[in-house]
């Protein structure tokens, strides 16, 4: 069974609501394709204007984070029902920046993943090693641990719908993209881990993205790997280049 490529932009803490509308209007014609699922994960305050701007297009709007409680005294947080109420279908969970700056742990990631599924939101579950871990040779062990904890108590049917983003921390925002071999090796190991947890059917359908300095020139080779089903894109998602990343198949021979 063929997996549909999913290319998601992670806007991080960029774009005011009016800039968001402008960017979506610019990108809309550039990312128009049925071949790839296109998701823009935007800051919470941009979600509603982004949904409005994306109406009638193939762009789906996602969130960058979500809390794992239903409602209550959690100042500053966004609940799953708030996201589904306006039509959000995807949420990034456990990005390394949230782990580093906002005390996210594998345990909170797991709670959020379970809560997202409970509300019918597809989590884009992030994992990734530090440069030190890579140099110590523990990358695969570390990623397997992150995945196993993130998916605790997640059912097979839910796991089949999940998206996993492998984002080596040393490649994020550094311009240092992982080599195709490095990215493929870890994405294959993630698929193997899912096979161990849920069986071959789930491993066959779950989508695994690569993220970390993806650009128009690196997307085609990365996304053509056997176990890489698209990308989670930071900086380049804020530029017209994102259109080339989404249409990577047509831009295979682009040289810069
Ligand atoms: P960059 O593409 O800017 O390296 O960011 C990757 C990322 O963190 C996406 O979630």
Q: Which atom of ligand 1 is nearest to the CA of 214?
A: 2
Compute the distance from residue 245 Cα to the ligand 1 centre, in Å: 13
Q: Determine the pLDDT at residue 69.
A: 98
- b/e burial code for range 64-91 (CB count within 10 A of at least 16 → b): bbbbbeeeeeeeeebbbebbeeeebebb
- Distance between CA atoms of 206 and 204, rounded to whole angstroms? 6
Structure tokens, 165: 């983003």
Which residues surround ligand 1 with Cβ inside 6 Å?
A: 10, 95, 167, 172-173, 211-214, 232-236
Provide the whole-model pTM. Answer: 0.97
- Determine the residue of 100, 232, 239, 241 to mutate for testing ligand 1's pocket, defined as the one with the most ligand atoms within 8 A of the Cβ atom: 232
Q: Determine the pLDDT at residue 250.
A: 83
By annotation, the residues acting in catalysis are 95, 167
Q: Is 213:183 a contact under the CB 8 Å cutoff?
A: no
Number of domains in the chain: 1
Compute the distance from residue 172 Cα to the ligand 1 centre, in Å: 5
Q: What is the pLDDT along the chain (256 residues), one digit of tens a residue?
A: 689 999 999 999 999 999 999 999 999 999 999 999 999 999 999 999 999 999 999 999 999 999 999 999 999 999 999 999 999 999 999 999 999 999 999 999 999 999 999 999 999 999 999 999 999 999 999 999 999 999 999 999 999 999 999 999 999 999 898 999 999 999 999 999 999 999 999 999 999 999 999 999 999 999 999 999 999 999 999 999 999 999 998 865 434 3
- Distance between CA atoms of 90 and 80, rounded to whole angstroms? 10
- Distance between CA atoms of 160 and 154, rounded to whole angstroms? 10
Residue 180 sits in a domain whose CATH number is: 3.20.20.70
Q: Determine the pLDDT at residue 253.
A: 42
Compute the distance from residue 69 Cα to the ligand 1 centre, in Å: 27
Nearest to 151 by CA among 211, 204, 191: 191
Containing structural domain, residue 67: 2-255
Q: Determine the pLDDT at residue 22.
A: 98
Compute the distance from residue 19 Cα to the ligand 1 centre, in Å: 19
- Distance between CA atoms of 109 and 158, rounded to whole angstroms? 15
Count other Cβ atoms within 10 Å, centred on residue 117: 20
Q: Is 168:134 a contact under the CB 8 Å cutoff?
A: yes
């Amino acid at each position: 069974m063929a997996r549909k490529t999913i290319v998601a932009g992670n806007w991080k803490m960029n774009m005011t609501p009016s800039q968001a509308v402008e960017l979506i209007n610019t990108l809309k014609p550039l990312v128009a394709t049925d071949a790839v699922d296109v998701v823009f994960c935007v800051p919470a305050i941009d979600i509603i204007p982004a949904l409005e701007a994306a109406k009638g297009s193939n762009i789906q709007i996602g969130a960058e984070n979500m809390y794992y409680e239903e409602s209550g005294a959690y100042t500053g947080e966004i609940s799953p029902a708030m996201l589904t109420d306006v039509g959000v279908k995807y949420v990034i969970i456990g990005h390394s920046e949230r782990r580093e700056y906002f005390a996210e742990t594998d345990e909170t990631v797991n709670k959020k993943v379970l809560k997202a599924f409970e509300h019918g939101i597809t989590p884009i579950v992030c994992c990734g090693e530090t440069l030190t871990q890579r140099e110590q040779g523990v990358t695969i062990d570390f990623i397997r641990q992150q995945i196993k904890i993130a998916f605790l108590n997640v059912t097979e049917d839910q796991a089949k719908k999940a998206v996993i983003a492998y984002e080596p921390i040393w490649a994020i925002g550094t311009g240092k993209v992982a080599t195709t071999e490095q990215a493929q090796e870890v994405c294959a190991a993630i698929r193997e881990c899912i096979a161990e947890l849920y069986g071959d059917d789930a491993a066959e359908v779950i989508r695994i993205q690569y993220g970390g300095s993806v650009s128009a020139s690196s997307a085609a080779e990365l996304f053509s790997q056997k176990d890489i089903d698209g990308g989670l894109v930071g900086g380049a998602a804020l530029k017209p280049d994102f259109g080339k990343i989404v249409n990577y198949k047509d831009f295979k021979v682009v040289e810069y």
